[in-house]
Amino acid sequence: MKSLLWSAGLCSLATAVLAANEATSPPVYPTPEGKGQGPWAEAYQNAKALVSQMTLDEKVNITRGFKGDNICAGNTGSVPRLGWPGMCVHDAGNGVRAAELVNSYPSANHVGASWDKNLTHQRGYYMGKEFKAKGINVMLGPNAGPLGRSPLAGRNWEGFSVDPYLSGQLNAETIIGCQEGGTIANLKHFIANEQELYRRPYFGVEAASSNVDDKTLHEYYLWPFMDGIKAGVGSVMCSYNRINNTYGCENSKLMNGILKGELGFDGFVMLDWNAQHNLNSANAGLDMLMPMGGAWGQNLTDSVKNGTVKESRVTDMATRIIASWYLAGQDGDKFPTPGFGMRNFSVPHEAIDARVPESKPIIMEGAIAGHVLVKNTNNTLPFKGKQKILSVYGYDASIPQTKNIDTLFQLGYESYPELALAALGTEQHWDQAARGGTIFTGGRAAANSPGYIIDPLSAIQHRAAIDDTWINWDLKSSNPDVNGATNACLVFINAMATEGWDREGLHDDESDALVLNVARKCPNTIIVIHAAGIRLVDQWIENPNITAVVIAHLPGQDSGTALVKLLYGEAAFSGKLPYTIAKNESDYSVYKPCGLAHLGDTNPQCDYKEGVYLDYRAFDAKNITPRYEFGYGLSYTTFTYDSISVSTHGPMQPCSHIGDEVWEKIATVEVEVTNNGKVSGAEVAQLYLGIPNSPPKQLRGFEKLRLEPGQTGKATFELTKRDLSIWDVVSQKWTIQSGAHKIYVGASSRDIRLHGNLQFS
């Protein structure tokens, strides 16, 4: 009998969710065996041949972690008798963490703001090559969750966007690129892992339960995982939290029923580090424990002998792991010794340089592309020629005081040393700003490792030396003096976020006071915000002396260089917001993470009663005007949209589909975009659909066009059956409904330039 929660249908904005104490996740057994079809076929053939030679103990040995002679986050067991070397697995989706001679790539939220599939693919490829060069078999990323249900969630910056379509497309490109580079990608965190507060059991309190109905799960939280699995991801990480009151790594409905059953996932499921699990997790679909043996090891061997777990399940676990190893081309002499480039910094060791020159332009281009220009009064930017005097203010303008081999470096806390002192699971209340220097990444697992950091002030100084510009700076005062002859005042502030704790809010008073104090004295004030998530600006955005505002996100090691290129017009802004910036915190349909119901509560419940109505979907449905809408971003030029054409493939009738059918193309939309300005630029053309009984608009396509002045380009959007479908909880299929499906194409979710229609009858 199916749980009511998983069966309940949602056909309108009114979401029917059962009371939290009734939320259940039904058992689904047995685990479907990997089929090894399509691109997995050869890998499975090789894996089955190797696993067939293993003893039970050898198969069990590779399903768990062991302490290694390296600093990898985890190491699997090996099978020396058969020459299988085991695997090193390590953080994370933004580049190699806590390692030397690697690159600090732009973080995922920065990449999301680029809306650039090609650049995302190349970033994934060069990251994959670096992981491989260090002997890391599995990159613990990218992130399809959290998506960003709460804008305060501490790990939102690790993902590409709050929108599941944009997230899915960029996750897929990252996975393909990473695995082409020779490293297995690990798509995480499965699923509805949307906050740090009560993310796992601590001090007698259970992890929060994300109570999600079947329709919301499929149409929102599962969506980017589907794209990742279609892209051929080798591994998926189950999450710390509970989903409908069952822990993610014990949840057979999710791992057996949906991931390996409905989606046909052929790779392996990995435990998040020390996540809640038990021996029956093997039967529930878990394939690998990390970082050690946990509830398995000898217990798993004994359970096979007493019949609790079938040996065929252990064989499937081992086959899935080794098939992923073959899929990424790690067999034979194609891959270094696992972990050989990951050594203790503090003792003599051979330093392995994983960087290649070809990655440099990709990192720089990526750093440029994720900057979003949201205000530019009277074309303040770019600067017009050489500047006589510039004044720089704010704690975020300069380099952190240290970048060494210590914990601050390992956790990405160079600009916020206080974060390193706190123990995970303890209650903390952090200043939202990292006042120890510019931020280029967020904190903990997904932080990355810069060989250098070009901070904004240094880059401005280098340009000043060329142009003979006089530079004033005050990075300490909250109310600095201003030279009355200055051409412009640049104010640098930030908003930090980290794994382990959610943010306290979306702005801080001290930073806002700095902005207002400078703007009061300087009629040409430019604000630059490095942000690990949404940062509100309404405390000062309408001030007439604030002439330009840049959301600079997390650009990585080339932060300052990229910014100066943009300020001086050597590069053009092309980024668009991958989320909505509201006027007020209360405008978000979900603002704060879930807490305890009362004093003494040990069973926190999070009812996802908002369904799929998050971010711009909720703003549109409730007719709330944002400050800057999803998909918004200015350029140094202007673009016009013309000549929409819609063609269909096959009969336009309502239908239901499952499996590979969902990827069949059903319609093609084409539009012409023209650069009618005086400089070259790139425009992100965005396609939204108005699906019956759904949010007013949902993103279903985007294309980035680079155009010279006067040039016209064509944006082509291929729509699949899934793109036009809702999830029918009764038939358990994706379903295209009868009626009009409206097409909107434009420059943002609210700047719609062209309209079309698809009619199903």
DSSP string of 657-714? Answer: E-GGGGG-EEEEEEEEEEE-SSS-EEEEEEEEEE-TTS-S-EEEEEEEEEE-TT-EEE
pLDDT tens for 707-753 read 999 999 999 999 999 999 999 999 999 999 999 999 999 999 999 99
- 400 and 547 both lie in a single domain: yes
Which tokens belong to 282?
A: 């093997």
Q: Which of 557, 575, 593 is the last residue of a domain?
A: 575
- 444 and 537 both lie in a single domain: yes
Q: In the predicted model, what is the mean pLDDT of the chain?
A: 96
- 546 and 668 both lie in a single domain: no
272 is annotated as an active-site residue: yes
Cα–Cα–Cα angle for 84, 86, 90, rounded to 5 degrees: 150
Q: What is the CATH number of the domain that holds 701?
A: 2.60.40.10
- 681 and 537 both lie in a single domain: no
What is the rounded CA–CA span in Å between residue 691 and residue 542? 36
The pairing of strands 681-690 and 698-707 is: antiparallel
Query: Which residue segment(s) compose the domain that 389 sits in?
Result: 359-420+428-575
Residue 189 dihedral angles phi and psi, to the nearest 5°: -110, 125
pLDDT at 86 over 70: yes
- 382 and 526 both lie in a single domain: yes
CA 154 to chain centre: 12
- 526 and 381 both lie in a single domain: yes
- 458 and 381 both lie in a single domain: yes
- 462 and 556 both lie in a single domain: yes
Which tokens belong to 185?
A: 């990608």
Partners of 362 in beta bridges? none
What is the widest separation between alpha-carbon atoms in the chain? 83
Inside any domain, residue 502: yes
Four-point Cα dihedral 24, 25, 29, 33, nearest 10 = 180
Q: Give the up-direction half-sphere exposure of residue 158: CA atoms within 13 A in the CB hemisphere.
A: 32
Cα–Cα–Cα angle for 177, 182, 185, rounded to 5 degrees: 60
Which tokens belong to 352?
A: 């392995």
Inside any domain, residue 97: no
- 371 and 508 both lie in a single domain: yes
pLDDT at 60 over 70: yes
Inside any domain, residue 248: no
pLDDT tens for 427-465 read 999 999 999 999 999 999 999 999 999 999 999 999 999
Q: Which of 556, 575, 594 is the last residue of a domain?
A: 575
SS3 assignment, position 229: helix
- 511 and 404 both lie in a single domain: yes
pLDDT at 3 over 60: no
Tell me which residue of 629, 543, 624, 634 sits closest to 589, measured CA to CA: 624
Tell me which residue of 670, 703, 685 sits closest to 639, measured CA to CA: 685
Residue 741 dihedral angles phi and psi, to the nearest 5°: -115, 105
Give the rounded percent of residues in the chain with a pLDDT score beyond 90: 96
Q: Give the up-direction half-sphere exposure of residue 597: CA atoms within 13 A in the CB hemisphere.
A: 12
pLDDT at 18 over 80: no
What was the pLDDT predicted at 91?
Answer: 98
Inside any domain, residue 74: no
What is the rounded CA–CA span in Å between residue 754 and residue 13? 26
How many domains in the chain? 2
| Side chain identity, residue 708 | E
What was the pLDDT predicted at 250?
Answer: 98
What was the pLDDT predicted at 21?
Answer: 59
> Mean pLDDT lowest for which of 226-240, 511-525, 602-616, 647-661?
647-661
DSSP state letters, 392-446: EESGGGS--S--SSSHHHHHT-TT-GGGGGSPTTS-----SS-TTS--SS-BGGG
Q: What is the CATH number of the domain that holds 467?
A: 3.40.50.1700
Inside any domain, residue 342: no
pLDDT at 16 over 80: no
pLDDT at 5 over 70: no
Inside any domain, residue 680: yes
Give the rounded percent of residues in the chain with a pLDDT score beyond 70: 97
pLDDT at 13 over 50: no
pLDDT tens for 297-343 read 999 999 999 999 999 999 999 999 999 999 999 999 999 999 999 99
Q: What is the mean pLDDT of residues 271-290?
A: 98
- 444 and 541 both lie in a single domain: yes
Q: Annotated catalytic residue: which of 214, 227, 266, 272?
A: 272
Inside any domain, residue 174: no
**Contact call for residues 738 and 760 (beta carbons, < 8 A):** yes
pLDDT at 22 over 90: no
Inside any domain, residue 25: no
| Cβ neighbour number for residue 623 with a 10 Å cutoff | 7
SS3 assignment, position 270: strand
- 459 and 563 both lie in a single domain: yes
Sheet holding 184-190, edge to edge: 65-66, 74-76, 88-90, 138-139, 184-190, 235-238, 268-271
pLDDT at 14 over 80: no
Q: Which of 532, 554, 575 is the last residue of a domain?
A: 575
| Side chain identity, residue 77 | G
Instruction: Output DSSP code: residue 317.
Output: H
CA-to-CA dists, residue 19 to 4, 168, 241, 609, angstroms:
11, 30, 18, 10
pLDDT at 15 over 60: no
**Contact call for residues 239 and 207 (beta carbons, < 8 A):** no
